[in-house]
Amino acid sequence: MATPTSARTRAKKAPKAPARPKLTDDELEQIKQLHSEGKGRNEIAETLGRAAATITSACKKLGLAFDESQTVEATAARVAQMKAKRIDLAEQLLDDALKIRERLWSPHHYYEKGPDSLVPVTLPLPPLRDTRDGYGALQIALKGHMELVSESTDTGIEGKRSVLANLISGIKSAVAEDRANGGEAPDMSLAANDGDVADPITNASAGEESPS
């Protein structure tokens, strides 16, 4: 049985991982060149096969700083590319769903074992079990399609607020233009009976009982 002392001795004798060689002059020149081309830290590290921390340290010594605006633009470009890929994938999933449905309503060909050989058999439609499995696959394809479309088109709460703000601004501009031309501004109030809001269904204001 090995003693703690012998275990520590083996640990001390275990070879250490070889340290990565320092950056060569050629690599430093490459860093300068790639940096001047607007390449980001991670991109330079990937090109040279070095760690990002190594590139960061080298750039500090070389007096090179990374433009954060370039990083933002590069990130925006990657996001746009991913969005385009999601849209392409959504179209492919929709095509898959259509192909699956077409197959569910097409003749079904298979083989049965005959006395001497396999006998081809054709049914007007697939068996119920295959149809059930097919509609399960169809549902999965459609769900993936809808999720990808939603992710690619949803502008989020801020986008919706922006659309609403533009709509309100447009209405105000139209009202101001009507007034400037001497026209009567439309009544955009929903108030009725001294400020009570009218019910759009019963046409009764708040506080009033709707007719039974």
Dihedral (C-alpha) 21, 24, 28, 33: value to the nearest 10 degrees? -120
Q: Is 89 exposed, middle or buried (0-12, 13-18, 19+ CB in 10 A)?
A: middle
pLDDT tens for each residue of 24-36? 999 999 999 998 8
Q: What is the pLDDT of residue 198?
A: 42
Q: Delimit the domains of the chain by residue range.
A: 23-66, 73-153
pLDDT tens for each residue of 128-137? 999 999 999 9
Q: Of 82, 97, 80, 85, which Cα lies nearest the Cα of 145?
A: 97
pLDDT tens for each residue of 45-61? 999 999 988 998 999 88
DSSP summary character for residue 122: E
Q: What percent of the chain has pLDDT over 70?
A: 59
CA separation, residue 21 to residues 50, 56, 88, 203 (Å)? 10, 16, 44, 82
Higher pLDDT, 94 or 198: 94
- Do strands 191-192 and 118-123 pair parallel, antiparallel, or not at all (unpaired)? unpaired
Q: What is the pLDDT of residue 69?
A: 65
DSSP summary character for residue 145: H
Tell me if the domain spanning 23-66 has CATH number 1.10.3470. Answer: no
Task: Compute the distance between CA of residue 176 and CA of residue 179 in angstroms, rounded to an integer.
Answer: 5
Question: Count of alpha carbons within 13 Å of 108, Cβ hemisphere only?
Answer: 14
The CA-CA-CA angle for residues 79, 81, 84, to 5°, reads 110
**Phi-psi sector, 198: left (phi>0), alpha (psi -120 to 50), beta:** beta
pLDDT > 50? residue 210: no
Mean pLDDT of the chain: 75
DSSP summary character for residue 121: E
